[in-house]
Structure 1
Amino acid sequence: MDLPFNFTFGNQFKLLKNLSRLDISGITGHCDVRRISRNFFENTPFLKEIDISNCKISHFDKGPFKFLRQLRKLDISHNKELGFAFLPNVTYGLNGTNITTFHADSIHCQIGKGTLLTLSHIQYLFQTKLTEASFANNRIELIEKGVLPNMPTTLEKLSFAANRLTTGIYLFEFHTLYNLREYNMTLFLHQENFASFSEKCDEKSDSFTTNLSIKHEDIRSKRFEVKNRINITIYLPKNLETIFANSSKLYGRFPKFNLNASGIKNVYLQDNFLFAWNQPVFGVESVEKLDLSNNLCTDISPLFTASLLRVKYLNLARNMLGRALRSDNKCQIFQNQRNIEELDISGNQLVDLPFCTFQNLVKMRILRLGNNQMTNVSFGIRHMINLSYVDFSDNRLTSLSDETMTSLKLIFKKSKVLINLSYNKLQCTCQNLAFLAWMNEHKNHFVHIEQYICSNRNTQFEFREMEKSLLILHMNCINFDILNVTATAFITLFLCLALVLIIRKYIWHIRYFIYKTKQKHNFEIRLSGMDPEPLLMNKNLPNLNIQDLSEDSMNTLCDRKQSANQYFYDAFISYVGADRDFVFQKVKPLLESHNINVCIRDIHFELGNGKIENIMKAIGRSRRTICIVSKAYMRSRWRTYELNMAKMEGIKARDSLGFVHLVLMPDLFHGVCNTNIKDLIDRKYYLDYPPDGSALQEEFWKKLIDIIKSPYL
């Protein structure tokens, strides 16, 4: 019902003995009460539930609810001008009611300094029988010592969500809430409404709130990290089952600690910044559901998962665990998770996994591996006889291996497992004919198979009509007449193609040889003409003229391998024009600040010389070549030339491919791995450039500087 200004409940309301629920909320209607007097509810003694949220209330007299002996639920949320100053007046007398649920969310203005929840604010709640209490979205930064021990012992659900909580002594008082089953400290990262900055809001404050800055000695940062030598034990209520700490700005490495909470089952830590999980966590043996998705994590260790013995649902999606899982050759990360029924590691930049990765997950029902970069299913699944759903969507799969098809066929006989292969790169070719026939045989097990498409643009193959399409493809693949007629031409073509491929394979060797031969020839001409031009550009040695060299030393100067201090530049930076700002604003200033002399083409290439001449001089005069590789870089013909000639310089002149090092930009991660950089990536001559603002930035620059200054490997 709507409630106008200065409304009162008359004596006639005493006759409404069946009036047990009163909803005068401004959210569902119109409410403009402003003030709740002591006798406001005197004529409605039979109420059990009251919702006076968003009623523009700015004042409560002391004890307006003490007449309501049957009251069970009270909601005063969204009355933003109340503040905690009026909580004592609101809660006075509630110990004489049957109240079990109390909500005081958003009773502070949206904009303002942090608030302090004190013992005086909740002193009248102690003797009530509350089972659920919520103080969400009140700008709380700190909870005074003693508040939690003086909460009702019957409390089962407690929410401090959407506040600004910092760490303090109150964290060590949670164990006093003996019957607490659910705790919510989520910080919802929603966008602020710009109208809130200008709206009129005059909340009531008390001395505790206004003097919060005095108590800042109790406040610590929310960096979730401690020294390894410190053993921390966190005591939680023995009946606590669920913790909501998602979107709470928890940041850092997951620390080593002991958790004293024998009843904990559900832990939600998603949407934080816990970027390394490599420390043991003890006391989590009872956890059944753990959500760590979207934490930008790059490292996970078997130490972290060792105690997660009963976990049934594990969500690790939207992290960066591809490299860590790929390097787990002994398959120890998931070795103790024998009870897992649902595992989500989608969106983790997975390329492939060791065969034994999931060898102990015999109870697996749902496996989500979507939105990765897998080109084949390399892990074993034959033992997962309880599978009901496998998500391989949005990867780079062209088909499934014979081992995988055999394993799935055995599982098909025991369960109605569904497989999602949508948004992959399925090849509808003769080479894939066996795989396509196998899909048709078991098409009832594939989700939305009629929507699959061929990546090779085979317009004749339609997954909606697989049997017809397979017949057409089969006929095309066995056309022996055409094969016999074209046999002679094919042999000739094969020989020509082989020659072309050989030339193409060694094209950069040939180009490098041609350039060096030309350079040596020009050297001989200059030597015979006694050109006084300096030959060796060197920052540590005097320049040498042609006159200073004998003919015997010509080959030595042209072909010699220079030592570490005989190069004019420490590094030649190869980059595409689209990345010019990145090089000039970040790479060049940072490297030069560490006394690293860099060669930049837009600065150091000599006017009048050809591009090839400038590129080869820059490579030859530098100790290393650093390539800033992005999608635009891989499309550039000249940058490809720089990259490959630098590789040839490393192989032929420096005895190490480590002469070249790649910096892989973020936009390259979802692209196709180019053959020009595959050998460097296979030998780990690369660094991933982390996203701007990432905590990994400092570590990246340190590694790059160490690489430039270190000898070749």
Structure 2
Amino acid sequence: MLSQKLHRDHYLSFMSALQNLIYQRIFAVSINTMRISNLYITSAYVIYTISVVITGILTEYVCKFDQRCECYSYNSKTEVYCANKNITDSDIPHFSRGIHKLFLNFNQIKRIPQTTFNHLETLTELDLSWNRLSYIEEGTFYGLSSLKKLSMKGNCLNYSLEIPNDIFKPLVSLTHLNVARNLLFNTNRVFHTFPSAFITSLHKLQSIEVDAGHPLSLFRFSNGYKSLTHLTRLKIDFCLLPSLINVTFLYLQYLDHIEMRNCRIQEYEVGTLPNIKNIRYLDISDNFLNDDSLSRLMKDLSSNEELKVMKMTNCCPSIVIYIPASIYLTESKIEEIYANNNSFIQASEYGRYFMLPTTLKVFDFSNNKLGIFFFGMPYLWILNLRNNSLGTYLSSERYTNSCKTELREVDISHNRIYELSYSIFHGHLKAVKINLSQNKLTDVTFDLSHLVSLEKLDLSRNNIGGISSQASMDTLHKLSKKLKIDLSNNMLKCSCENLYFLQWMNANLDMFICKHKYTCRFDNNDVVYMTNFNDVVKQLEKKCNSHTTLITCIVLGITTASIVLFAGLMFRFRWKLRYLYYMTRHKYNVFKSIQSSPTYKYDAFISYANEETDFVVNEIIPNLECDCNLKLCVHQRDFLPGEEITQNITNGIHQSKRTICILTRSFLDSYYCMFEFNMARMESIYSRNDQNILFLIFYEQLRPKDLPLVILELVQKQSYIEYPNDEQGNVVFWDKIKESLVSS
């Protein structure tokens, strides 16, 4: 009623403002331009006149018969509001005829004189709630033959007094009666339930709100209700019903709507509700049912094909580990189940699987302690699992195995979710709203591609710093154009690593809602509100560009230094690396290793420059091969055709006992001669256990400064021989070489 009055006050203000606007517009335009058309003037005056008439009608809200009351007329029907006017028994207004609705609630009326309403034959609704009525006199309701709705809620009616049984008899049209909350003011702890004898004559009664119960004895609705064949709705507002027995509703067989909230129900007896065959709506919220009572109740309802809505909010405050399978009413045609605000831990026994009823559209298990939830739900529309403990379970599992569902709304907020299974929303092609708020998510790693109808994705109050997956951003961009994402109350990361995501957000700002609640933390822990998203992104881009230049220079410097270091190491150990390379090829592709063979193929490998070919052919070969029967490896004669020169050199040195180097200036200038020298040096170090296999012959006079360091070092540490180039000296020269080769 108060809200209706406020709406009327707002409407009057609006109409008054409209009148002033039209008035100013008409005369301002007429005076200033003098060119306004007759049609414009006529239209404006018509609108102005209508507004005056409507405002005039509504302005007369002060009732003529009593200024404390307000009268309003709609479609020739009058409503009178005398609520909260401190009216008492002695100053009840003298109401005029023709009233259709009368509101006397929130006053101080204790009794009503007999003649108060007897002339109100058009009255259809009477509100006497929240007064101080304790007694109703006979004849109080005379004349109210058209009354359909009567409320006496929140009074002090004392049913132990001699109230006439036919007090409501004049109310031949009454369809709704509210006499609830009349036990609240009894102080003698005697509970007198509303007597059924008062209502036996109300044959058209369809709905009743009453108090019921007795804390010390079993309660039932008496046989006076049996004659009320049109009574379909029962709401027990204030009640004490510790036990429901099979006779509690024995005489209420026509009910289809029962509300028993906060009745302290603990025990339920089998067979209590089945006699009510047409029940469609049952609310047993805010009670104290235990496991066994809940199972018995659900068993009674399991075969009821008329039941559509089942509410059991906070019906079972004691912890229930496994919810009984019967709670899902799988054999019924239930459409809505509300099991929120309980202490259920697992929606089913571990390993068991249930298919929800195909008729079920709404399934609310919010505010429980669920750690496991898994059902087949191909036809469900709304699933509410808010405020449970499903975080660990949903990180690797789904809440349904249905490949395709009809789900429109899914709420798994406030579940301490750190991560979701990748496929959790697969098959949700019709989902419009997904609520993941108040969790611990740090990123969007689950697949969104199936949410083609999504209109709202609530990710507020998480720990999301950004979306790292390019695929997730692309998917969100491709989804419904109606999609709105809420990232409020997350701490976004204003860092270079997250710059791409922030740029993507900036390019798709229309997709995000509640942007005034977006905050972003920089690397130095400064936090800014994203009230001007574009400026923040530009600031970060500028910062990251300078960082990028610095990082690029550092990376290039490190890369260059690494290349130089690597090249230096390669140069430092070039001969060792080359030797190892050719030895590996030789070992696995050509010959066996030296350790596996007791003899060498050659007694000596001759290393010389092309300019000393005559010396090798005319001197070395005759003196060593012909005279001493030694076998030499000479590259012009013994290298394998078709093989790489370097490979032939390595193989020849490796298969020879000694390597003889004919040192000349041409030798020092020759690449391959120096290659042969270094390969022989590597051979002696790594394959011959530091055994000296090099034999140096100075064929020409060479100064120390002309020699490379590696040769000079070898000359200083080990012996060498000079070619004498005279007949007598040659004899000694060749004898020493033969002796060296034979003894080695």
The TM-score bracket by the shorter chain reads 0.5 to 0.7
Equivalent residue in structure 1 for 2:220, among 104, 112, 118: 118
Question: Cα distance 1:473–1:124, how it changes in 2: closer, same or farther (>3 A)?
Answer: closer
Conservation of the 8 A alpha-carbon contact between 1:9 and 1:41: no
Deviation at 1:232, TM superposition (A): 5.0
Q: Give distance in 1, aligned partners of 2:443 and 2:151.
A: 57
| Residue 74 of structure 1: aligned partner | 177
Equivalent residue in structure 2 for 1:404, among 472, 479, 483: 472
Conservation of the 8 A alpha-carbon contact between 1:224 and 1:254: no
* CA deviation map 1:120-167 (0-9, x unaligned): 2x53344331122111231111233233342142x3321111111123
Question: Cα distance 1:423–1:134, how it changes in 2: closer, same or farther (>3 A)?
Answer: same
| Residue 348 of structure 1: aligned partner | 415
Question: Cα distance 1:163–1:13, how it changes in 2: closer, same or farther (>3 A)?
Answer: closer
Matched, 1:90 2:198: yes
| Residue 31 of structure 1: aligned partner | 132
Matched, 1:268 2:338: yes
Equivalent residue in structure 1 for 2:245, among 122, 134, 144: 144
- Give the match's secondary structure for 1:346: coil
Equivalent residue in structure 2 for 1:17, among 121, 125, 128: 121
- Give the match's secondary structure for 1:454: strand
1:92 is matched by which residue type in structure 2?
Answer: T
Matched, 1:311 2:380: yes
Equivalent residue in structure 2 for 1:433, among 495, 499, 507: 499
Instruction: Give unmatched runs, 5+ long, in structure 2.
Output: 1-81, 90-108, 563-744
Conservation of the 8 A alpha-carbon contact between 1:234 and 1:260: no
| Residue 670 of structure 1: aligned partner | none
Question: Cα distance 1:431–1:283, how it changes in 2: closer, same or farther (>3 A)?
Answer: closer
Q: Give distance in 1, aligned partners of 2:244 and 2:342.
A: 22
Q: Give distance in 2, aligned partners of 1:380 and 1:254.
A: 31
Matched, 1:335 2:402: yes
Q: Give distance in 1, aligned partners of 2:555 and 2:471.
A: 34
* CA deviation map 1:388-407 (0-9, x unaligned): 00011122222111121111
| Residue 348 of structure 2: aligned partner | 278
Question: Cα distance 1:375–1:7, how it changes in 2: closer, same or farther (>3 A)?
Answer: closer
Deviation at 1:417, TM superposition (A): 0.4
Deviation at 1:86, TM superposition (A): 4.1
Matched, 1:256 2:359: no
Deviation at 1:447, TM superposition (A): 1.2
- Give the match's secondary structure for 1:293: coil
1:361 is matched by which residue type in structure 2?
Answer: H
Deviation at 1:370, TM superposition (A): 1.1
- Give the match's secondary structure for 1:137: strand
Conservation of the 8 A alpha-carbon contact between 2:447 and 2:472: yes
Which structure is larger by alpha-carbon Rg, 1 or 2? 2
Matched, 1:163 2:263: yes
Deviation at 1:342, TM superposition (A): 0.6
Conservation of the 8 A alpha-carbon contact between 1:129 and 1:152: no
Q: Give distance in 2, aligned partners of 1:290 and 1:51.
A: 34
Conservation of the 8 A alpha-carbon contact between 2:378 and 2:402: no
Q: Give distance in 2, aligned partners of 1:225 and 1:157.
A: 19
Question: Cα distance 1:161–1:408, how it changes in 2: closer, same or farther (>3 A)?
Answer: same
Equivalent residue in structure 1 for 2:510, among 444, 453, 478: 444
Question: Cα distance 1:88–1:362, how it changes in 2: closer, same or farther (>3 A)?
Answer: same
Matched, 1:183 2:282: yes
Q: Give distance in 1, aligned partners of 2:518 and 2:199.
A: 61
1:615-634 to structure 2, matched below 5 A, reads: none
Conservation of the 8 A alpha-carbon contact between 2:264 and 2:287: no
Question: Cα distance 1:332–1:13, how it changes in 2: closer, same or farther (>3 A)?
Answer: closer
Question: Cα distance 1:265–1:337, how it changes in 2: closer, same or farther (>3 A)?
Answer: farther
- Give the match's secondary structure for 2:504: helix
* CA deviation map 1:22-45 (0-9, x unaligned): 3222x2xx433x223554434544
Equivalent residue in structure 2 for 1:298, among 357, 361, 371: 371
Q: Give distance in 1, aligned partners of 2:110 and 2:414.
A: 57
Conservation of the 8 A alpha-carbon contact between 1:370 and 1:392: yes
Q: Give distance in 1, aligned partners of 2:285 and 2:140.
A: 35
Question: Cα distance 1:489–1:175, how it changes in 2: closer, same or farther (>3 A)?
Answer: same
Question: Cα distance 1:364–1:65, how it changes in 2: closer, same or farther (>3 A)?
Answer: same
Conservation of the 8 A alpha-carbon contact between 1:317 and 1:345: yes
Q: Give distance in 2, aligned partners of 1:377 and 1:453.
A: 18
- Give the match's secondary structure for 1:323: helix
Deviation at 1:295, TM superposition (A): 0.6
Matched, 1:52 2:152: yes
RCO comparison, higher one (Cα < 8 Å, 6+): 1
Question: Cα distance 1:13–1:423, how it changes in 2: closer, same or farther (>3 A)?
Answer: closer
* CA deviation map 1:581-614 (0-9, x unaligned): xxxxxxxxxxxxxxxxxxxxxxxxxxxxxxxxxx
Question: Cα distance 1:124–1:245, how it changes in 2: closer, same or farther (>3 A)?
Answer: same
Conservation of the 8 A alpha-carbon contact between 2:290 and 2:316: no
Question: Cα distance 1:336–1:264, how it changes in 2: closer, same or farther (>3 A)?
Answer: farther
Deviation at 1:410, TM superposition (A): 1.2
Deviation at 1:459, TM superposition (A): 5.2
Q: Give distance in 1, aligned partners of 2:112 and 2:544.
A: 88
Conservation of the 8 A alpha-carbon contact between 2:210 and 2:238: no
1:213-232 to structure 2, matched below 5 A, reads: 221-222=290-291
TM-score (norm 1): 0.56
- Give the match's secondary structure for 1:176: coil
Question: Cα distance 1:485–1:418, how it changes in 2: closer, same or farther (>3 A)?
Answer: closer
Q: Give distance in 2, aligned partners of 1:262 and 1:325.
A: 29
1:89 is matched by which residue type in structure 2?
Answer: A
Conservation of the 8 A alpha-carbon contact between 2:491 and 2:518: no
2:199 is matched by which residue type in structure 1?
Answer: T
| Residue 164 of structure 2: aligned partner | 61
Deviation at 1:71, TM superposition (A): 1.5
Deviation at 1:381, TM superposition (A): 0.6
Question: Cα distance 1:430–1:130, how it changes in 2: closer, same or farther (>3 A)?
Answer: same
Q: Give distance in 2, aligned partners of 1:311 and 1:37.
A: 54
Question: Cα distance 1:151–1:473, how it changes in 2: closer, same or farther (>3 A)?
Answer: same
Q: Give distance in 1, aligned partners of 2:153 and 2:527.
A: 63
Conservation of the 8 A alpha-carbon contact between 1:9 and 1:43: no
- Give the match's secondary structure for 2:169: coil
Deviation at 1:78, TM superposition (A): 1.5
1:484-633 to structure 2, matched below 5 A, reads: none
| Residue 654 of structure 2: aligned partner | none
| Residue 543 of structure 1: aligned partner | none
Q: Give distance in 1, aligned partners of 2:304 and 2:158.
A: 36
> Sequence identity, in percent?
21
2:500 is matched by which residue type in structure 1?
Answer: A
Q: Give distance in 2, aligned partners of 1:406 and 1:136.
A: 54
- Give the match's secondary structure for 1:475: helix
- Give the match's secondary structure for 1:433: helix
- Give the match's secondary structure for 1:439: helix
Q: Give distance in 2, aligned partners of 1:43 and 1:123.
A: 25
Instruction: Give unmatched runs, 5+ long, in structure 1.
Output: 190-219, 495-713
1:21 is matched by which residue type in structure 2?
Answer: E
1:419 is matched by which residue type in structure 2?
Answer: I
Matched, 1:235 2:308: no
Question: Cα distance 1:267–1:491, how it changes in 2: closer, same or farther (>3 A)?
Answer: same
Conservation of the 8 A alpha-carbon contact between 1:340 and 1:364: yes
